[in-house]
């Protein structure tokens, strides 16, 4: 019986099985415990965030996933929909909160901003009501009076 060689396999269209990439794709290999990939801009985001114990949004585009239930960090929500930043709120002590709306179920949530969040993106969201004349409570000439 003739022995098959690698060139025989390639001529017949056969392929060698791909090696297992357990370094990158294995269960609990380490890279998923320290970071996640943003659903909007696809950047890799580290879980460690200055100013908050539970990072739940991308510091670049401020998008998030609907993963938390009632308690921040519990990851108990079954929705898993994309959450878009729609506004900014400020606590009496001056701390900013980012308001997200789930695009799947419509739920709203307020999350603390982190120290490394994109300041320009935060300001764009904060100024959105002043820029949009269709927002109730804002007169069209209000910016001219300022």
Residue-wise pLDDT for 11-70, tens only, equals 555 667 766 554 444 444 444 567 888 988 999 988 888 877 778 899 999 999 888 777
Mean pLDDT computed over every residue of the chain: 76
The whole-number pLDDT of residue 47 equals 82
Does 20 or 122 have the greater pLDDT score? 122
The whole-number pLDDT of residue 73 equals 64
pTM of the model: 0.64
For residue 84, tell me if it sits in a domain.
Answer: yes
For residue 83, tell me if it sits in a domain.
Answer: yes
Q: What percent of the chain has pLDDT over 90?
A: 29
For residue 89, tell me if it sits in a domain.
Answer: yes
For residue 71, tell me if it sits in a domain.
Answer: yes
Q: How many CB atoms lie within 10 A of CB 85?
A: 23
Q: Are 68 and 75 in contact (CB under 8 A)?
A: yes
Domain that holds residue 65: 25-131
Average pLDDT over residues 116-143: 74
For residue 138, tell me if it sits in a domain.
Answer: no
The CA distances from residue 113 to 33, 43, 55, 102, 122, in Å, are 21, 18, 9, 17, 9
For residue 142, tell me if it sits in a domain.
Answer: no
Residue 90: pLDDT above 70?
yes
For residue 33, tell me if it sits in a domain.
Answer: yes
Residue 125: pLDDT above 50?
yes
The whole-number pLDDT of residue 7 equals 56
For residue 104, tell me if it sits in a domain.
Answer: yes
Structural domains counted in the chain: 1
Q: Are 58 and 35 in contact (CB under 8 A)?
A: no
């Amino acid at each position: 019986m003739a022995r098959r060689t690698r060139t025989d396999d390639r001529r017949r269209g056969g392929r060698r099985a791909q090696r297992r990439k357990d370094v990158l794709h294995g269960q609990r290999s380490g890279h998923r415990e320290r970071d996640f990939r943003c659903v909007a801009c696809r950047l890799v985001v580290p879980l460690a965030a200055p100013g908050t114990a539970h990072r739940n949004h991308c510091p670049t585009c401020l998008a998030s996933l609907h993963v938390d239930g009632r308690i921040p960090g519990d990851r108990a929500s079954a929705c898993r929909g994309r959450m878009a930043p729609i506004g900014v709120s400020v606590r009496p002590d001056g701390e900013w909160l980012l308001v997200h709306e789930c695009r799947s179920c419509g739920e709203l949530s307020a999350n603390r901003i982190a120290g490394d969040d994109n300041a320009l993106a935060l300001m764009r969201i904060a100024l959105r009501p002043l820029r949009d004349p269709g927002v109730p409570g804002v007169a069209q000439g209000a910016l001219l009076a300022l």
